């Protein structure tokens, strides 16, 4: 049987919706899902590690990555660059493994242009007041940054209709279960199964 390519899953949604938490729990539940570590120019937060949470880059290094076409997508988000290293994603999919990107909305839309066969999941806040509180509640950012993140979130919610699925992040465990259901359903799609059956039909 010819090896199947992996599926690219893109988990995206507004700032403060809890993408990081949901993605971390999803990775615990589905260890075979390969997480793509992003590059960023923002400074590491306490406890963050190079190559685990992000590849931390200077602006110059990041701009070189853009110029050399090393990024599948990139976005400037609240004053910093964030981007997905291209080669790792392509190689991993080629090896038949599923990949998950946890990225903001502008980047997700760029990936959709290049990988229309990817599966785009929008993580939505249960209500907008809750979202506002979560953005404010992180406590590690200045007022200006918080306001910028809030404005960005409003624009991002407007982008929901470009995605294939919407998961409301009311309870993390439930959101993770629903994303697991999406992953299962995507693997069961006729398009991913049919060649195996066709080969059998034609070989007997």
Q: How far is the CB of 98 from ligand 5GP (least distance, A)?
A: 17
Q: How far is the CB of 154 from ligand 5GP (least distance, A)?
A: 14
Q: How far is the CB of 182 from ligand 5GP (least distance, A)?
A: 18
Q: Which residue is nearest to ligand 5GP (CB)?
A: 107
Distances (CA, A) of 69 to 73, 83, 87, 132, 173: 9, 11, 10, 36, 37
Whether 107 contacts 12, CB under 8 Å: yes
By beta-carbon proximity to ligand 5GP, the closer residue of 20 and 96 is 20
Map 92-126 to HEC letters.
HHHCCCCEEEECCHHHHHHHHHHCCCCEEEEEECC
Map 172-202 to HEC letters.
HHHHHHHHHHHHHHHHHCHHHHHHHHHHHHH
Q: How far is the CB of 84 from ligand 5GP (least distance, A)?
A: 4
Q: How far is the CB of 4 from ligand 5GP (least distance, A)?
A: 25
By beta-carbon proximity to ligand 5GP, the closer residue of 4 and 58 is 58
- String of b and e for 110-132 (b: at least 16 CB within 10 Å)? bbbeebeebbbbbbbbeeeebbb
By beta-carbon proximity to ligand 5GP, the closer residue of 106 and 178 is 106
By beta-carbon proximity to ligand 5GP, the closer residue of 38 and 200 is 38
By beta-carbon proximity to ligand 5GP, the closer residue of 64 and 195 is 64
Instruction: Please report, as ranges, the residues that interact with ligand 5GP according to CB under 6 A.
Output: 15, 19, 38, 42, 73, 75, 77, 82-84, 102-104, 106-107
């Amino acid at each position: 049987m010819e090896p199947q390519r992996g599926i690219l899953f893109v988990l995206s949604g507004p700032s403060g919706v809890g993408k990081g938490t949901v993605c971390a729990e999803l990775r615990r539940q589905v260890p075979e899902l390969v997480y793509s570590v992003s590059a960023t120019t923002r400074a590491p937060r306490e406890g963050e590690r190079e190559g685990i949470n992000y590849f931390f880059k200077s602006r110059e290094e990041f701009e070189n990555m853009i110029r050399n076409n090393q990024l599948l997508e990139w976005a400037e988000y609240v004053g910093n660059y964030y981007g997905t290293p291209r080669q790792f994603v392509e190689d991993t999919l080629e090896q038949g493994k599923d990949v998950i990107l946890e990225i903001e909305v502008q980047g997700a839309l760029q990936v959709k242009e290049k990988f229309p066969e990817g599966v785009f999941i929008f993580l939505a806040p249960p209500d907008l007041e809750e979202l506002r509180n979560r953005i404010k509640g992180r406590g590690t950012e200045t007022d200006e940054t918080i306001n910028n993140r809030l404005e960005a979130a409003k624009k991002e919610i407007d982008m929901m209709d470009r995605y294939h699925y919407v998961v409301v992040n009311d309870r993390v465990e439930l959101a993770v279960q629903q994303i697991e259901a999406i992953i299962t359903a995507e693997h069961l799609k006729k398009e991913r199964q049919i060649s195996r059956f066709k080969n059998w039909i034609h070989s007997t």
